[in-house]
Homo-oligomer: A and B are copies of this chain.
Amino acid sequence: MSERVYNFSAGPAVLPEAVLAEAQRDLMALPGVGASVLEISHRSADFSAILAQTTADLRTLLNVPSGYQVLFLQGGSRLQFSMVPMNLLGEHGQTADYVLTGSWGKKALEEARREGKTQVAWDGAETGYDRLPSDEALALSDDAAYVHITTNETIEGVQFATEPEVGDRPLVADMSSDFLSRPIPVDRYGLIYACAQKNAGPAGVTVVIVRDDLLARAPDGLPGMLLYRNHAENNSCYNTPPTFGIYLVGLVAKWLLHEQGGLDGIDQRNRDKAALLYRVIDESNGFYRGHARPADRSLMNVTFRLPDADLEAQFLRQAKEHQLHALKGHRSVGGIRASIYNAMPPEGVDRLSSFMQEFAAQHGS
């Protein structure tokens, strides 16, 4: 096998080696099946068992209460940006409230505006999306159809540590980049969606967790594929689902449950990894400047700048020589971004923090 580097990509992102090894072992034929998981019908008993186990393991990991459906869809979060308002705004002229804490929330709002009445409940633009709102700062509609948040903004590197208080309005969360990275109280949410390619699996599969009562809201006439109800009623087999993606999400869930101590275990590892990098930033005498306000820092995406663009380019080049890859910040903001999702091993973060210290010592004033 080729040597593996430390891959800090923001997504698609590193997967657990144990998951890749099992997928590789069985790629020609699943044990006892005689065909690859890539080749079997989504309606076969073999795939149905994979789907059922994956669903059950996600329910266990997240402690999903009864009264919620777990769905596997396609189209990424981008399609959810549209499906959420199409299904939940209904036909009663209600308003959807959007809390904007970064680039992805803004894109979600942009799509929602095409579908119905929206309102910005808070916008962090003034300080460059470096912080989260207090509960008091949220201007919520009295009859909001839902309140939309992005739990972790990958580009700016800010993350909600707890749920904002929204009363009895359904809270809808784009959890794409911190799904399965920590325990969450699912019952605080009406709907959660997450593309898999950060913590949960490969690109091409999107997990949706939705409360039963919200399934009924959708107006008649939506395209069949965009109606959550159709997917719920057909156990994610309304059409052919992304079978291999679901299989990999299942392997990741199994790895979390049985090798990482569940979400409590992975949460502790994630906190330790992030603390290490933020400490290097905070102790660099200003050589590294974190983007997010310390209280609102993401445990998933550590974003920072160096004194100038030349040094950033040099940092990226030298990092690569240390097998530290994909550290470039998002093209819209520049700088450096270290994405340290569940599957980034502590050894990768150790190596990055050592490199950062050496680089600062060489180039700091």
Q: Does A15 contact B (CB under 8 A)?
A: yes
Question: Nearest-CB distance from A303 to chain B (Å)?
Answer: 16
Residues from chain B with Cβ under 8 Å of A20 in the complex: 27-28, 36, 38
* In the assembled complex, A293 has its CB within 8 A of some CB on chain B: no
Which of A136-144, A222-230, A271-279 contacts the other chain?
Answer: A222-230
Given contacts A75-B75, A82-B224, contact A240 B197 (CB under 8 A): yes
**Pairwise interchain contact B39-A15, C-beta atoms closer than 8 A:** yes
Q: Which residue on chain B has the smallest CB distance to residue A35? A: B7
Distance to closest chain B CB from A361 (angstroms):
27
Describe A's contact surface by its main secondary structure. loop
- Option from B39, B75, B82 in Cβ contact (under 8 Å) with A12: B39
Across the interface, A244 reaches (CB within 8 A) one of B32, B42, B203, B222, namely B203
Docked Cα-Cα span, A323 to B75, in Å, equals 36
Does A21 sit at the interface, judged by CB under 8 A? yes
Cβ A5 vs Cβ B34 within 8 A:
yes
List A residues 15-60 near B (Cβ within 8 Å): 15, 17, 20-21, 23-24, 26-36, 38-44
**A2 and B32: CB pair below 8 A?**
yes
Residues A89-122 near B (CB distance < 8 A): 110-111, 114-115
* A265 interface residue (CB < 8 Å to B): no
Inter-subunit contact A203/B32 (CB<8 Å): no
Evaluate contact between B34 and A240: CB separation under 8 angstroms. Answer: no
- By beta carbon, the residue of chain B nearest A85 is B223
Partner of A17, one of B14, B28, B79, B248: B28
Residues of chain B lying within 8 A (CB to CB) of residue A82: 223-226
CB distance A42 to B203 under 8 Å? yes
The bracket for how many chain A residues form the interface is 35 or more
Q: Counting CB contacts under 8 A, is A78 at the interface? A: yes
With A78-B239, A82-B226 given, is the CB distance from A9 to B40 under 8 Å? yes
A343 to chain B, nearest CB (A): 8
Contacting pair B12 A41 (CB below 8 A): yes
Which of B10, B27, B74 is within 8 Å of A76, CB to CB? B74
Residues of chain B with a CB closer than 8 A to A43's CB: 331
Residue pair A2, B41 in contact (C-beta under 8 Å): no
**B325/A34 in contact, CB under 8 A:** yes
A177 to chain B, nearest CB (A): 12
Q: Which of B4, B26, B204 contacts A29 (CB 8 A)?
A: B4
| Residue from B110, B205, B240, B325 within 8 A of A11 (CB atoms) | B240
A114 touching B223, Cβ below 8 Å? yes
A242 within 8 A of B: yes
Which residue of B has the minimal Cβ distance to A82?
B223
Does A195 count as interface, using CB distance less than 8 angstroms? yes
